[in-house]
Structures are given as C-alpha cells and as structure tokens.
Amino acid sequence: MIRNVVVGRVREGVPAEAIERGLQALRDLTVDGVDFRLVAGLDLGLREGGASFAITGDFVDEDAYRTYDLDAEHNRIRAEMFAPISEIILRVQFRLPD
C-alpha cells in the first residue's frame, strides 16, 4: 500500500472557503480503474506555524498512484484550484507497513 501525503500553505488572505472548494473537488474525484481512499482537511490551528491543509491518499501500489497522479481531472484541480492560492505545497509518497 502506498500513502501519498500532501501539505500546503496558502497565500495570505486566501479564505478558507477557497481551500475547502479544492479539497472537496479532490474528495469527489474518481479515477477510472483506480480504487483509492482520500482524506483531506483544513488545519485546525491548534499549533502555530502549521500548514493550511493536508491531504492523504492510499493506493494499492505504485501504478495506482501514478495513474491518479497523471489523471487529467486531478491535474486540472491542482492547476486551477490549488496552484493560484498556494504559497508552497509539499508531497511525499511512502510504503505502508503490512
């Protein structure tokens, strides 16, 4: 199992509603032939200096992750909903222990 973790910080002044629209678009995303579980949310602000949002996605293997990563709708969401509002986005993919 592969877990993809994304954390991002948005530009100053970006309303939470703008972030949530992008997160919801990812929650609603389906990719033909790929079964995955995606969880996403806004930072609760419990500790200073955190990111604005986080996304995790679990995929059965590397091929499933790559198919998701290359999906046209996924890339449209990234380009149109996250790139314009984000200061920084970091990603990591790692294998979950059995």
Distance CA(95)–CA(98), nearest Å, equals: 9
Q: What is the mean pLDDT of residues 26-53?
A: 96
Distance CA(87)–CA(68), nearest Å, equals: 23
Q: What is the mean pLDDT of residues 78-87?
A: 97
Rg (CA), the chain: 14
Give every CB contact of residue 89 below 8 A, 6+ residues apart in sequence.
6, 7, 8, 82
Are the beta carbons of 96 and 3 closer than 8 angstroms?
A: yes
Are the beta carbons of 67 and 58 closer than 8 angstroms?
A: no
Domain ranges of the chain: 2-95
Q: What is the mean pLDDT of the chain?
A: 97
With bands split at pLDDT 50, 70 and 90, how would you rate the model's confidence at 98?
A: confident
pTM: 0.93
CATH code, 2-95: 3.30.70.100
Percent of the chain scored above 70 by pLDDT? 100
Antiparallel, parallel or unpaired: β 2-10 and 36-42: unpaired
